[in-house]
């Protein structure tokens, strides 16, 4: 998804609607983009917070399980390698299959909750790290990828997409 220019128009529209819906539930596009920009500025990666949350001026993101740096590094490497593949999970005979399967088993039960600071800005939204498409086919959730891995410019392109 982060390579937005190579996607089909149908996929672009789908991702646009998904991110726009999330942005509207968070208080609007500007608040959503400020969240993404703040996430990119954080070192180390916000997902490895031992407190299982990310707090900032306009809201917060919380999740229920500590995520270690090796898992974040594996996501970064694998999402680029598997971008053109139909599934984030490789074939069982591939070398990284077990590592990626364990990553999916670790992160799949975690629900990420994004809430604005003030209730009148929106209700916020929840998402998981992966979308299960069918048996053996898994992909990164577009919200998870946009919030934690895509560049700010790519997220802006997606939000401003016109069919």
Q: Are 88 and 78 in contact (CB under 8 A)?
A: yes
Residue 150 falls inside a structural domain: yes
Q: Are 33 and 151 in contact (CB under 8 A)?
A: no
- Tens of pLDDT, residue by residue over 65-109, are 999 999 999 999 998 888 778 888 888 899 999 999 999 999 999
Contacts of 13 (CB under 8 A, 6+ apart): 161, 163
Where helices occur in 2-82 by DSSP H, the ranges are 9-26, 29-41, 69-81
Write out the residue range of the structural domain in which residue 62 sits: 8-156
What token pair was written down for 145? 């990828």
What is this structure's pTM?
Answer: 0.90
Q: To 10 degrees, what angle do helices 97-107 and 69-81 make?
A: 120
Residue 162 falls inside a structural domain: no
Task: Specify the pLDDT at position 102.
Answer: 93
Element housing 20 (H / E): helix 9-26
Mean pLDDT per 10-residue run, the chain (163 residues)? Answer: 85 93 93 93 91 90 93 91 83 91 92 90 92 81 93 93 82
Residue 39 falls inside a structural domain: yes
Cα separation, 61 vs 31, whole angstroms:
13
Task: Specify the pLDDT at position 119.
Answer: 82
Any bridge partners for residue 56, and if so which? 59
Task: Specify the pLDDT at position 162.
Answer: 86
Residue 137 falls inside a structural domain: yes
Total structural domains within the chain:
1
Cα separation, 55 vs 118, whole angstroms:
13
Any bridge partners for residue 23, and if so which? none
Residue 83 falls inside a structural domain: yes
Q: What is the largest CA-CA distance in the chain?
A: 51
Residues comprising the chain, all counted: 163
Residue 152 falls inside a structural domain: yes
Residue 26 falls inside a structural domain: yes
Residue 42 falls inside a structural domain: yes
Q: Are 59 and 23 in contact (CB under 8 A)?
A: no
């Amino acid at each position: 998804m982060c390579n937005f220019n190579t996607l089909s128009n149908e996929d672009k529209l789908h991702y646009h609607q998904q991110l726009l819906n999330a942005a509207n539930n968070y208080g609007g596009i500007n608040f959503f983009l400020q969240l993404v920009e703040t996430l990119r500025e954080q070192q180390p990666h916000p997902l490895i917070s031992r407190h299982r949350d990310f707090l900032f001026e306009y809201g917060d993101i919380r999740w229920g399980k500590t995520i270690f740096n090796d898992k974040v590094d594996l996501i970064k490497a694998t999402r680029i390698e598997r971008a053109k593949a139909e599934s984030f999970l490789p074939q069982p005979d591939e070398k990284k299959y077990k590592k990626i399967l364990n990553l999916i088993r670790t992160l799949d039960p975690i629900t990420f909750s994004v809430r604005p600071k003030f209730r009148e800005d929106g209700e916020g939204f929840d998402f998981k790290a992966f979308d299960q498409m069918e048996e053996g086919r898994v992909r990164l959730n577009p919200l998870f990828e946009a919030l934690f891995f895509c560049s700010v410019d790519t997220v802006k392109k997606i939000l401003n997409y016109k069919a």
